[in-house]
Structure 1
């Protein structure tokens, strides 16, 4: 039995060493953020109104920090302090935010900045092991672990954030006040989410945290950097609000999942993808589509500059397709 214990301990220690290497690899790309609206700058009498975390990324030749809008909290540039993992203090040069997604991007300039490795959040599945890194209660570079508990969470009451566009990963990795803006990291050391909110009766961790998929957060950030505002994605389908279990059974689906198309906007990406009335969109950008409202949330957070994979159910068959979405404002005028 002793030999078995030692063999199993060796296996577990190898796993643990891998986890430690992942954390060590990711931490230099994670920052601690403090903002204040009180006092004059950051004098000794000033109070920190918000504390959170952020993720370093590079766009073109410039460096930025991705975080949550509520972490920045409308603070002026001189009252934003950003601490690197090595203890250095850097200042914000420019701040851009999006209220609907609670995403903020801060331009920074310093030597030896290390951008985060970004994963493919469209491939994330329930059960994956993840780490959350942030600054709970001001304790910077705190690491917790857990799994992806669910994907596509929406219609959540998240207090003062009041987010209009929701399509979250849910995780049981401990997330507390101060974790906002920090990364959710997979076992490959890749950022797959931006930790944003908790569902809690106590104000602390109750085992239910939410993260914005990183492709959605970076898509918003890149539009803010390039255009100063965010153009929401548009697909171009009208959906059948009466699609229910009986209607699903008639066309061969076991349950009423997906969004059934009742109309296609002329000249839209959906028309270019040859979507037909009666098609049921069952999967979009790596996520199962439960109903029409979820499809709206997924599409709104998709990037505009890449081919989006999706699946439809038509005539008893599942058909894989790709589409490049358009800016919504092109079809609203």
Structure 2
């Protein structure tokens, strides 16, 4: 049986997921689309999903009898309401990050899913599906002894004027916040942010770069450089130092060129290109689970923990140099 999927939000990521399901992956069809701008939804319908029905409201799409599962790709402020509606309808839901814009909102989703008694939500933390991170996790779990430290960097070539200092946490570091918990099988207990010399390319509302320091329950110390105006490319780095060795996240596969007395290797500039394959694997995992009436991958609990940690990191930005404790409630058995 083919899974019938409705997509809420047909901007950049919603359109790309629609293309992925319509043209790349098997086992699902796009049967419904919705966007706050109906013209945008109709444009995606005409190009990628001619048989889909365009709904004026996301709530109508979720309630439609022609929709078995929902993709929430709209703006972050709308995520909580749509995910709660999908849970109430008993329909599996894939939600792009953030799960909600506040920790309280994410907790309401966790509570609703626990009350439903089964997993229905997958959060779009795609790095867990990246081949490089999966290779790194295999080595961390088996080859280098107990992890002691993590050194990481998240660099973008540039960001728009609308990108402010807190977005370095909520929009950028959020991926590291999730993937390190998964990589280390650990939770955070504190956060600290320090600010190096400011780049001349940073605008007035953005402190760039910044260094986020995290401590885990097992005592692992993590430092992450967030530098969103690095100019040279989109560059994700991660090194895990263990008791018996260290492991680096592999670089994306690229041709090395020797020419004009130089050794050259290209660096990507677009995050979509860097993680394009992981999006394919991520959505295929969602389709497999949703066809069974459930969800797989990163959970609502993961989204909630990411929200709590993000809030602590933003507080650490505001109190630069101070260590901010991170306290998590007990994890519901549904997510064990």
Q: Please state which structure has a larger fraction of its residues in strand.
A: 1
Normalised to the residue count of structure 1, the TM-score between the two structures is 0.29
Q: Please state which structure has a larger fraction of its residues in helix.
A: 2
Give the greater-gyration-radius structure (CA).
1
Normalised to the residue count of structure 2, the TM-score between the two structures is 0.29
